[in-house]
Structure 1
Amino acid sequence: MTLTHWQSRFEHWLHETWQHDDKAHDVAHLKRVWQSAQRIMTGTEADALVVLTGCYFHDIVNLPKNHPQRHLASAQAADETRRVLRDVFTDFPPDKIEAVAHAVHAHSFSAAVTAETLEAKIVQDADRLESLGAIGLARVFYVSGALGRSLFDSNDPLARERPLDDTEWALDHFQKKLLKLPETMQTAEGRRLAEVNARFLVTYMAKLCAELRGDFCALDKEVLAEFAPADVKY
């Protein structure tokens, strides 16, 4: 069976069965992660079916970011992935199930599980790319809004004179986590793409800071110089 057929089957099952209200972690998100994973794994010896399946099942159990057991979600997702592949997709190669489960378990930032295989590294990088760039910008404010968090501290947007607190201010999440993601990437292509997309978030920060000063036609050059990744090639 081709990858396209597996993808179609997974998407159909998820649309019919997967019930949740988080639009930042919907089937469209899974499809984008797979798209990124294909680019990252080009020219590698990665098992494409393991990567595809890991991309489509990595969020099969997804707990809210403020849930006390959030760090356990990927382990639960790995267990559920094993069950679904064995009980629903009975023709899925049994010798690949554990590799998929490991990729699912290791994808999570909060779980801090080391990705031991190339496939797991690719899935992890592809998922983290979703937190950067234009898509990441949209997702961070969507999630923060769903959790009732404020957009930013107008008086101190970059937390110069206060502790960073992304449970209160959505913009603080950029410095707390998002801008650190490029250095966590496991593959060369994943890191390159992450650095490009992190620069977009820095440009947004520079535009926001300029606007808060009343300058609607410029970027804050100090913000660009301080936060932009070095040597980014577009």
Structure 2
Amino acid sequence: MSWHESIAAYLHANAQPQHKYGHQPRLYALTQQIGEGLTYDDDIVFAACFLHDLGVFIGHRPEDEAALAKWDHVAYTCEKSPSILREAGFPEEKIPAVLDVIRQHQPHDDPQTLEATLVRDADILEQLGAIGITRTLAKLGSDTRFVTFTNARDSLKKSLDNLPAKIRLDRTRELAEPRIRTLTKFLMHLNEEAGDNLY
């Protein structure tokens, strides 16, 4: 088994709830679309894409609600990732760069390398469009932040209002356009259909 297969298998086994696993291969596929024609280290990007959310999985995050509210899933992921990468046979000299990408993958972060920028831009795309809607609605009932449909709608509206401006690369902006249109239309129709009774 290659280190790629080993890392993917580890994440597939540890992604709980199971629907969270699809984010990893989709994210990596997006980095390949965004990064076409650019020169970067794909090993680093692959490893970061698959490991970056380890700390959000059930079994890796706290179950206590108060502890979960203060949980730093990035710090946890950076602590656990080196041993996972070594066990998979990932190149030792590239591990620090993987951790840097993981530390810089969120929209509020300031990525310092092309690898980190690719992963961060791809992660922003995953929060827009039909996939962004699906991922958000899947959190209802399993995420303490999402108790009602209104919580989900407000989160999607916040993503639409804030995330497009955070995109760094021109290719990502192109890929974002149809996703922004989809999310805009969804929210418009949701408000039309539910009115004041979404709950």
Tell me the equivalent position of 1:54.
48
Tell me the equivalent position of 2:115.
119
| Contact 2:127/2:159, CA 8 A, preserved across alignment | no
2:195 is aligned with 1:197: no
Structure with bigger helix share is 2
Identity %: 30
Map 1:36-115 to 2 at 5 A.
Answer: 36-62=30-56, 63=61, 67-70=68-71, 72-86=72-86, 88-89=87-88, 91-109=89-107, 112-115=108-111
Map 1:91-170 to 2 at 5 A.
Answer: 91-109=89-107, 112-147=108-143, 149-152=147-150, 169-170=151-152
SS at match of 1:172: helix
Q: Residue deviations 1:96-124, cap 9 Å, x none?
A: 11111111111134xx4321110011011
AA partner of residue 25 (structure 1):
K
Q: Number of aligned pairs?
A: 185
AA partner of residue 37 (structure 2):
G
Structure 1: 4+ residue segments shifted above 6 A: none
1:15 Cα deviation from its structure 2 partner: 3.2
1:23 Cα deviation from its structure 2 partner: 3.9
- Paired with 1:81 and 1:47, the residues of 2 have a C-alpha distance of 18
After superposition, the CA RMSD in angstroms is: 2.3
Unpaired segments ≥5 residues, structure 1 = 153-168, 214-234
| TM-score, L = length of structure 1 | 0.71
Task: Give the greater-gyration-radius structure (CA).
Answer: 1
Q: Which has the higher contact order (CA 8 A, sep 6+)?
A: 2
| Contact 1:132/1:178, CA 8 A, preserved across alignment | yes
Unpaired segments ≥5 residues, structure 2 = none
| Contact 1:179/1:198, CA 8 A, preserved across alignment | no
